[in-house]
Structure formats: structure tokens, C-alpha cells
Chain A
Amino acid sequence: GENVEQHPSTLSVQEGDSAVIKCTYSDSASNYFPWYKQELGKRPQLIIDIRSNVGEKKDQRIAVTLNKTAKHFSLHITETQPEDSAVYFCAASWASGGAGSYQLTFGKGTKLSVIP
């Protein structure tokens, strides 16, 4: 199966600074890499994703980069705001079981605190 390592486990930044969270994966066949944000007491929600045929994707203040050779991908948040404070999870999808079957393996999460 897949193994996803996520670092750091906690991250504190000043408001307006950038935050970077890094993940590595083990299965070179993994082809989809989403990032989820989970606010306290809420469900995880997708904030950005990237497929293996793309190296970088941006959405306003959020960007994700993928290095397939090194098997790592990163989340970049610029101009951080207090409402960015949450737990962020990376994940990787990989083929499993029968034809067309796939699983999603998550990292252990990063608790981001943005200090006003």
C-alpha cells in the first residue's frame, strides 16, 4: 500500500507570512494528490488538488507543487490570515484491489496557527 509522510506536524506563522507544508509518498503509481483543510470541529474540505501530469497548480493564495521524481508534493499558502488556522491534510490516491479500484491515503496532518 501507500505511505504518506507529512511535515511539520505543527506550524506557527505570523499573519502575512507564507506557510509551507511538505508531504512525501511511497507508491510511484499514485496519480492524484489532494489537500484538505479541517477547521476545529468541522469536516475536512478540499482546498486544492493536483494530478500527476501537472507540476504546479495555483488558486489565489494557495499553490501546490508536485515532484514525481522525488515523490513529494507541497502546499504553499501566501499572505496568511487568521482564518487559515486549521489542520491541513495531504493525501495520495493509488490503485488497489480490482480493476479501477483505488484508495486514498492521508498524511497525519499539520496544525497551522496564524498569529495576528
Chain B
Amino acid sequence: EAQVTQNPRYLITVTGKKLTVTCSQNMNHEYMSWYRQDPGLGLRQIYYSMNVEVTDKGDVPEGYKVSRKEKRNFPLILESPSPNQTSLYFCASSLRGHLGSYNEQFFGPGTRLTVL
């Protein structure tokens, strides 16, 4: 089944304790992205990756890191989480279209993170 998976789905942690949220897709998509969703703010892009070893900052990258060592995986790393990073996080992937044109993004199930 074609899908985007994220783990963990729920996480409660404390300030400063490093954590990683994994994201994996089995659709051979080049483009992968992380979003955070907060009430009243919609979906905001954290980081994105056009392909392996290529990553770029989105609109809200502060406090986050990513890596893209393999095409299928795009982990999100919070080196020192803070309470303002409490949010619902979505990973997404899409095919990269011809000449960079955009294609449908497929979202993972989401990870609800609480930082105390």
C-alpha cells in the first residue's frame, strides 16, 4: 500500500531532551516536507527536501533539523525541544514534476508532540 508513515504518533517529552520523529514513504517520491499545525495558524512548512542530500528551510525552521540520506526517509530532529514546539506535526511527500512543477502532496498520519 502506498503510504507515508510517521513515528511516534504521540510523544510527551520534557524541555531539552533531544528527540527524533521519523518519516518514511514507499512511493519513490523525490520531494518530502515537514509541517507543523497549530490552531488558527494552519499548516506551516518547517523544512523540505527536493531530493537526497538536498534540504531547504521552510517558513518556521528555528529549533528543527532534518536530514535526507535516503530517498524514502526524512527524519525531523529537535535537538533541544521547548514548550513552544508543542504541536501536531505532519510529514508529506510528492513526486517532483517536470521543470519543478508541483504535484499532489501525500500526508502522513501526524505526530502529536507535547513538550513540558
Query: How far is the CB of B109 from the nearest CB of chain A, in Å?
Result: 6
With contact pairs A31-B101, A44-B107 given, residues A107 and B48 touching in the complex (Cβ less than 8 Å)? no
A92, closest chain B residue (CB):
B102
A44, A46, A98 — which one has the most chain B CB atoms within 10 A of its CB? A44
Query: How far is the CB of A56 from the nearest CB of chain B, in Å?
Result: 19
Q: Mark B37-81, 1 if CB is under 8 A from A, else 0.
A: 000111111001010001010110000000000000000000000
A100 touches B45 (CB 8 A): no
A31 touches B56 (CB 8 A): no
Query: How far is the CB of B51 from the nearest CB of chain A, in Å?
Result: 9
Which residue from B59, B99, B110 sits with its C-beta under 8 Å from A43? B110
> CB-CB < 8 A to B44: which residues of A?
106
Q: Does A104 contact B (CB under 8 A)?
A: yes
Q: Does A67 contact B (CB under 8 A)?
A: no
How far, in whole Å, are A109 and B43 apart by their CA atoms in the complex? Answer: 9
Query: How far is the CB of A50 from the nearest CB of chain B, in Å?
Result: 11
Q: Does B28 contact A (CB under 8 A)?
A: no
9 additional A-B residue pairs with CB within 8 Å, beyond A9-B40, A89-B43, A106-B43: A32-B102, A43-B107, A43-B108, A98-B54, A100-B50, A100-B96, A100-B100, A102-B100, A106-B42
Pairs A–B under 8 Å by Cβ, sample size 24: A9-B40, A31-B102, A34-B104, A43-B107, A43-B110, A44-B43, A44-B90, A44-B107, A46-B104, A49-B104, A89-B43, A98-B50, A100-B96, A100-B100, A101-B50, A101-B100, A103-B56, A103-B58, A104-B45, A104-B102, A104-B105, A105-B59, A106-B43, A109-B42
Report which B residues bind A (CB closer than 8 A). 33, 35, 40-45, 48, 50, 54, 56, 58-59, 90, 96, 99-102, 104-105, 107-110
